[in-house]
């Protein structure tokens, strides 16, 4: 076993850290307060080849894999979890999924433009009454001969109102159950049957655009299908097993940022004539946070490494996502406690870490869903893929 990063990985880590410190941090308070998304930053990230992980060089790949994407996303989330989202929207979500299931023409047409951020990506799964139960989704696609007609609504979709091309999951055969879902590559712009709107009533991730998409007899081309008709559930589960590792990366980033803030404050704040870091209860909190965080990192890095080796990893990915997201909430909460009254103030980062961490218990499969997956594989009721 080798627990050290390679020279190239350390270089990417430093690049991401430097970018986050110089491009995101200076305006972060104002951006957070105004729910401001800055598209130019995504393009700058693309210019540094941050979105090429796990992809062939002919489509803009950078020669790296999931582990490197985790390392990059972690550094961004340390500063702002909102800016971890582009790694899923441009790389781990649409690009890697199309690279797996798409035709040669689809790969050539779409992947390079997601990697370069010429097009902003998305993937639309969740609906008003359908979240973890993917098969119960109501959005449907009807074959009209020369085109597909889409009707329905998607909710809580990252990049919904700013997205260009991305993935849509819809029902094509209600009677077929999970075999009746199909994945489509669609364009949200310039289609009179598609209406998008932002959702800004969010607890956290204020700089990450989130919205809803309504389809009203929307026409899309017959060649929009990704993979085969009826293969959507398989594609969706495969994709989610990948995008979860990016969520886990965001979780260890949030926890790492929270711990750094807690340690910095504990070394500066004094009470009763001594810095608060000298008191045993504060030390116990920090010790628990650090140990838990290191364990989470090992789980996340291992799951990413297994993906890069082409080895079964669903079990490990769900463990990483579950443990890292719950750990992020714990670390953020204890950071808020260490900050005391200042932890309750928007002038300090503790409250933002806690708000942003909560999202990771929900997205890409709730903590309960991860437990179901872990238990199912552990008990032998499902196969680790």
For residue 104, give both structure tokens.
């040669």
d(CA 367, CA 364): 9
CA-CA-CA-CA dihedral for 256, 40, 93, 74, to nearest 10: -10
Please name the residues in contact with 328: beta carbons below 8 A apart, sequence gap of 6 or more.
Answer: 250, 251, 252, 254, 255, 258, 296, 353, 357, 360
Please give the Cα distance from 138 to 135 (Å, whole number): 9
- Owner of token pair 């946070």: 289
Instruction: Pick left, alpha or beta for residue 60 (phi over 0 → left; psi -120 to 50 → alpha; otherwise beta).
Output: left
Is 364 designated active site? yes
Tokens of 341: 């009254």
Q: Residue 61 phi/psi, 5° resolution?
A: -65, 150
Q: Is residue 138 within 8 Å of 127, Cβ to Cβ?
A: yes
- Which residue out of 32, 316, 351, 364 is catalytically annotated? 364
- Report whether 295 contacts 3 (CB < 8 A): no
Burial label for 22, CB within 10 Å (0-12, 13-18, 19+), is: exposed
3-state class (DSSP) for residue 210:
strand
Residues carrying an active site annotation: 364
């Amino acid at each position: 076993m080798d627990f050290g990063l390679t020279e190239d990985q350390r270089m990417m880590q430093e690049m991401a850290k430097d970018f986050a410190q110089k491009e995101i941090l200076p305006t972060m308070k104002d951006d957070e307060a105004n729910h401001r998304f800055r598209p130019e930053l995504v393009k700058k990230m693309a210019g540094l080849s941050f979105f090429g992980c796990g992809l062939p060089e002919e489509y803009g790949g950078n020669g790296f894999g999931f582990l490197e994407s985790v390392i990059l996303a972690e550094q961004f989330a340390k500063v702002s979890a909102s800016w971890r989202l582009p790694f899923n929207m441009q790389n781990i979500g649409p690009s890697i999924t199309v690279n797996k299931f798409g035709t040669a023409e689809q790969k050539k047409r779409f992947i390079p433009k997601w990697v370069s951020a010429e097009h902003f990506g998305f993937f639309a799964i969740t609906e008003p009454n359908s979240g973890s139960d993917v098969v119960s989704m109501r959005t449907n696609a009807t074959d009209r001969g020369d085109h597909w007609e889409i009707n329905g609504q998607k909710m809580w979709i990252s990049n919904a109102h700013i997205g260009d091309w991305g993935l849509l999951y819809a029902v094509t055969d209600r009677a077929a159950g999970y075999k009746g879902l199909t994945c489509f590559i669609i364009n949200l712009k310039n289609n009179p049957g598609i209406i998008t709107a932002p959702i800004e009533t969010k607890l956290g991730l204020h700089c990450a655009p989130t919205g809803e998409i309504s389809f009203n007899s929307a026409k899309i081309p017959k060649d929009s299908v990704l993979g085969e008709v009826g293969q959507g559930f398989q594609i969706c589960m495969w994709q989610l097993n990948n995008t979860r590792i990016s969520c886990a990366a965001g979780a260890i980033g949030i926890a790492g940022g929270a711990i750094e803030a807690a340690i910095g404050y504990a070394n500066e704040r004094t009470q009763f004539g001594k810095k608060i870091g000298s008191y045993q209860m504060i030390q116990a909190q920090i010790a628990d946070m650090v140990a838990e965080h290191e364990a989470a990192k090992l789980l996340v890095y291992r799951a990413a490494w297994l993906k890069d080796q082409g080895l079964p990893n669903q079990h490990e990915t769900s463990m990483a996502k579950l443990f890292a997201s719950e750990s992020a909430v714990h670390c953020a909460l204890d950071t808020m406690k260490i900050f005391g009254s200042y932890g309750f103030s928007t002038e300090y980062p503790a409250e933002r870490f806690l708000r942003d961490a909560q999202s990771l218990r929900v997205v890409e499969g709730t903590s309960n869903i991860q437990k179901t997956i872990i238990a199912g594989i552990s008990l032998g009721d499902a196969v680790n893929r």
